[in-house]
Chains A and B, each alone.
Chain A
Amino acid sequence: MSQSTLPILIFILPLAGTLMIALGLAPRFVAILTTGLMAFCSVALWIAYTLTPGGFQFVFTIPVVSKLDISFKTGVDGLGVLMLFLTSIVSVAAMAIRPGVETRPRLYYICLLLISAGAAGAFSSLDLFFFYSFHELALIPTFLLIGIWGHGNRTTAAWRATIYLGVGSFVLLIGLIAMIFSLSPEARTFDITELLKTKATASLPPETQSWIFLLLLLGFGSLVSLVPFHSWAPHAYASAPAPAAMLHAGVLKKFGLLGLIRVAQPLLPAGAETWLHPLLVLLCLNVVFIGLATVSQRKLDLMLGYSSVMHMGYLFLGIAAWGAGVLGPVGTATLILAHGLSVALLFGLAGEIRSKVGTLEFSETGGLATKLPLLAFFFSLAAFASIGLPGFANFPGELMVFAAGFKAAAGGSDGVAPFHIAVGVALLGVLISAIYMLRAFGSLFLGKPHIRLAPDVRDTCLGNRLVFSLLTIALLLFGFAPGLVTALVAPSIEAIGSFAGTP
């Protein structure tokens, strides 16, 4: 077995897990085992990946439809390694976290494993057809998880997500097909690396590029909850069972960003140029408009849902600032990892609070820190990570993104450039997120207890402690040594950029 199958192994493992569960093995055990192996493989992949030349490695190809040049092609660049790492770490956490479910555990863990498999498959696919299809594969179990095991208004939430993401994916599909079919027949291929290499799409007329890019931006954007295509997200995350929210908000959602970095932005430089300013406006709305909407939430789960929409603004800003060099997308990549880990931690904690306290309403809780000191400790770390405190991975990511924004602004003429305004507005988000996160932490854990806990409620159990520690340690590790991420990602971003001559 050659090394180049390593990325495939990573997404075959959870698929094998679903099979084992279907055959009757203990579902929770299988889920933890297979995702644990996944995590092991993804760390091995990171170590085995050669940093210095960067570019795509571990490439493996089986032709599928030769007429259209569709092939089952997998492989990773630095960004891919990072995404697979994120997927497997969050997957382990999502499988291991308690409370699990009592009803239909088999189907539950199969769904969760399918999300991991779909995400990992999409992140390691180098062929647009499979890139897209794997993501679709992962979306369906997400809807099921919300609809069957969700809380509160779960059916509406599931529906909403289904429609939004369904339509978003559909628009994306049309965009991808349009892009490929506007090429001349001999240049037509679904192979991403080939498209990047030949730069065929970059020489399309600007008008064509522009409308195709719009389709891709809308498609990928609504998957990442770009305002105004975000309404699915808060309610879906609030209703979803904790592991589903962890996996979707932490991992699967980042598919859209990978798509923008690897496909839309480099392949259609003229299109990206045209839509740059509208994108800046939308991402500012993400930060400030949704940020303020987050402040007005009175329930932890909805607040986390909104906050994860808000944070996407920074990630879009990094991509938009690509014109000023690799700094922006590298910052986005760092934030992909950091946000994935921190939001998974927060949703995991919210799930545990819900099961212990019975409510997530701010007005009904308070003073939980006396009874649940460890939970409070982890929550404070997660909250501080999420508001971009130095020491956690989120801070270097945000710093790079903001710096890149300024670099992009300085490239233009003197005076105040649109990017200056965008960075200024996005920086307001740092303040806004401090307001809502500390409000949430304060009203849940500090002050006088408003709620009488059941006498048998204990502080977080050993298993969950391990899960929370895993995510926290990862956040701290990349916060103290963000160089680990930048060294991995920067050469690959550089390579993608130089392939197609980004704007």
Chain B
Amino acid sequence: MIFTTLSSNVLALFFGEDQPSKAHCNMVTALPWIALFAPLISAISITLFLQRYKQLAVAVSISACALSFVAAVGIYVVDGFPDLRPLNWLNIPGAFTASIGLLIDPLSEVMLLVVTGIGLLIHIYSAGYMKKDAGKARYYAGLSLFMFSMLGIVLADNFFMMFIFWELVGVSSYTLIGHWFGRESAAEAAKKAFIVNRIGDFGYMLGILMLWSAAGTVVFKDLFESDTLAHLAAKPVYLGTAVLLVFFGAVGKSAQVPLHVWLPDAMEGPTPVSALIHAATMVAAGVFMLVRSFPLIEAAPEFAAETILWVGLTTSVLAALMATQQDDIKRVLAYSTLSQLGYMIMAVGLSAPLAAMFHLSTHAFFKALLFLGAGAVIHMLHHEQNIWKMGGLLRKMPVTAGTFLCATLALMGMPLFSGYFSKHELFAAAIHHSPVVFWLVVGIAALTCFYMGRLFIVVFLSQARSAQASHAAEAPLVMSLPLIILTLPTIFSGYDFVLKNFELFLNRAHEKVAVVVDVAGFAAIGLGLGCATILYLNRQADPLHIQLFARRFFIDTFYAIFVRMVHDPLAKLMGWMDRWILDAVVIRGGAMAVWVTGFVLRLLQIGNLQVYALILAGGAATVLFLIILR
């Protein structure tokens, strides 16, 4: 009896008073829940039971991801997805509601496919890359936890839920960057990533709370209703501030200036992790979140969008310049990721969320491919990451080189590759805004072609520059197969059938743009690639030495100095103040009183702690007693 009331109470806790009927539970509505929770179950079961059964852990994690992928395909195929019933997570009637609800619309459908598709390939690839790693089970638990958290962000139907998964993504990223925790640098990088992200989250939470207290809801569907938006827009400065604070969350997660410093360091993690989390999906979560909340940005005053635009553009320019002088293959790609993320953020600022989302999807595929290719090179060269110790790998690793070339061309925006289409959209958005922005965007594209040309030439062409490079061999099938599969979307994801889907969710017509866009694009490719060829073909060492770029504009140095010179001393000062000033005033004063009391009591020849404590209680009781008998 008690059990049934208890269980119905517990059900009521999550579902509210009317319990779910059969009508709510059919296969279709179960799909998103399956996609979301399969990786969680995998993460939990690996952590609790499968630490010692490594192969089984790998199998469980891969199948969970495959299940999510199948569910994502199912969701994509089903037309007119029914509304889903949210679960109560925290509900105080009349005061506060935060629920776990899933929102299925074209935006989340596409993102689901991108995340689970790339996720699945990287799960498989990792089986080869991490074959001999002792912590393989822990690694796969981390990957599954990441899939769960990322899918939570994609499916969230309200800001609170998105924030929950936003934080969880941070944790899974922490555990995966710090996978080789015995290395100080990996442990440091993991900590840095988490803390820098938390700086962004501070603003994000503040922004969400501002929206919540003004609109009374943070459910996207209700928040984006025209009445609510009009109500919010009535206080433009308030709304603008809230939007910028929410944007600050994206600055952290998508590693924009000034919070970009964690991403290059995050390359300390295993390369498949860099591909999945720090190139394709997690870092794009900030862009996704901005696209999701685009109606708010639109309703906010001009300064919000302008800020977003310029933050993105600055990041993009600085990161592209830094990328030209990096010698670590993963770091080149990391700065390139920063630069491309800046592009996407900029597109949101240009009121072109469609372009941002489009570039996010194409970039996710080709950047994941680039990282996996880099991973194959690093793996076959016994963990050599310096590009000047590579060279001539085209003949030794033809599959890797070929797929890498496809991805490089896509990133450059070469026609026929997916990147061409999405960059075209960005250019079009930029030219509508102002010439300055447009020419900056074109300049970044030229820089992109330059550093990618440099990378490909130095790594795959020329002669081998080290013993490892001259003895390299093609990667095993479990690693090269994902490369080959990823080449398909790298080429084709820009074509019309995907585009059609994008137009659904924003109802924006695809405008025809001036010829100048195409011409500028080609010029950028020609310029960048030409310079790279002239400078780097058949070179033994880098002819350019630009300290400013190589040392990353000294931003990291500045932060290190800031932490050492300001933050730590401030903390020390507070600790010191606490110990000496507050103690001196309060305690030493008290100690004086105690000393006097002690002196008096010593006359009574009692001096141990127990007796004092008893006297204290006794004294209190006496006072009370005297008052009572008054």
Contact = CB atoms under 8 A, between A and B. Distances in A.
B195 A434 contact: yes
B613 A330 contact: no
A143 B575 contact: no
Contacts of A427: 202, 205-206
Interface in B385-401: none
Nearest to B163: A390
Interface stretch (A4-12, A25-33, A161-169, A453-461): A161-169
Contacts of A136: 617, 620
A501 interface: no
A144 B90 CA distance: 41
A204 interface: no
A431 interface: yes
A172 to B, nearest CB: 10
Contacts of A297: 575
Nearest to A376: B181
Contact of B209 (A65, A140, A143, A423): A423
Nearest to A232: B587
Scoring A70, A289, A292, A330 by chain B CB atoms within 10 A of each residue's CB, the highest score goes to A292
A163 B92 contact: no
A390 B235 contact: no
Interface string A414-446: 100000000110011011001100110010011
A51 B10 CA distance: 13
Contacts of A445: 181
B148 to A, nearest CB: 11
Interface in B578-630: 578, 582-583, 585-587, 590-591, 593-594, 609-610, 612-614, 616-617, 620-621, 623-624, 627-628
A36 interface: no
A403 B206 contact: no
- Main secondary structure on B side of the interface with A: helix
B182 A296 contact: no
B164 A395 contact: yes
B575 A447 contact: no
Interface residues on B, range: 35 or more
Contacts of B94: 325
Nearest to A408: B213
Contacts of B6: 47
Contact of B205 (A430, A439, A481): A430
Interface string A468-493: 00000000000001111011001000
Given A144-B609, A228-B586, A430 B202 contact: yes
A466 interface: no
B212 interface: yes
Interface residues of A, number: 84
Contact of B571 (A133, A177, A292, A481): A292
Nearest to A298: B575
A399 B160 contact: yes
A162 B598 CA distance: 13
Contact of A143 (B198, B201, B613): B613
A384 interface: yes
A434 B196 CA distance: 10
Contacts of B199: 431
B214 A410 contact: yes
A400 B616 contact: no
A229 B586 contact: yes
Contacts of B53: none
A428 B202 contact: yes
Interface in B548-599: 567-568, 570-578, 582-583, 585-587, 590-591, 593-594
A231 B171 contact: no
Contacts of A370: 182
B184 A447 contact: yes
A157 B202 CA distance: 36
Contacts of A65: 628
Contacts of B92: 326-327, 330, 400, 486, 490
Interface in B212-271: 212-214, 235
A15 B205 CA distance: 46
A396 B90 contact: yes
Contact of B575 (A144, A296, A407): A296
A431 B198 contact: yes
B73 interface: no
Contact of A367 (B182, B578, B587, B594): B182
Given A136-B617, A177-B624, A391 B191 contact: no
B285 interface: no
Contact of B578 (A162, A293, A484): A293
B88 interface: yes
A389 B167 contact: yes
Interface in A286-312: 289-290, 292-293, 295-297
B614 to A, nearest CB: 7
B194 interface: yes
A269 interface: no
B8 interface: no
Interface string B173-217: 010001001111001101100110011011001100110111000
B95 A325 contact: yes
A447 B181 contact: yes
A140 B614 contact: yes
A70 to B, nearest CB: 8
Contacts of A447: 181-184, 187
Nearest to B187: A446
B592 to A, nearest CB: 11
Interface string A60-77: 000001011010000000
A162 B202 CA distance: 38
Scoring B90, B198, B201, B628 by chain A CB atoms within 10 A of each residue's CB, the highest score goes to B90
A493 to B, nearest CB: 10
Nearest to A177: B627
Contacts of B586: 228-229, 231
Given A173-B624, A231-B586, A369-B181, A293 B574 contact: yes
Interface in B62-100: 88-96, 98
B544 interface: no
Contact of B90 (A155, A448, A482): A482
A379 B199 CA distance: 23
A47 B2 contact: yes
Contacts of B624: 129, 173, 177
Given A330-B92, A448-B182, 17 more contacts: A144-B609, A147-B610, A169-B620, A173-B623, A227-B582, A228-B582, A293-B571, A295-B567, A297-B575, A325-B95, A384-B171, A414-B235, A423-B209, A434-B198, A447-B184, A484-B13, A487-B13
16 contacts: A147-B609, A163-B587, A164-B590, A166-B616, A170-B620, A181-B627, A289-B574, A292-B575, A295-B567, A295-B568, A403-B212, A406-B209, A410-B214, A423-B209, A431-B201, A483-B89
Lowest 10 A-B CB distances belong to which pairs? Answer: A296-B575, A446-B187, A292-B574, A295-B571, A390-B164, A296-B571, A406-B213, A483-B13, A293-B575, A446-B181
Interface of A: 47, 51, 65, 67-68, 70, 129, 133, 136-137, 139-140, 143-144, 147, 155, 158-160, 162-164, 166-167, 169-170, 173, 177, 181, 227-229, 231, 289-290, 292-293, 295-297, 325-327, 330, 367, 369-370, 384, 389-391, 395-396, 399-400, 402-403, 406-407, 409-410, 414, 423-424, 427-428, 430-431, 434-435, 438-439, 442, 445-448, 481-484, 486-487, 490
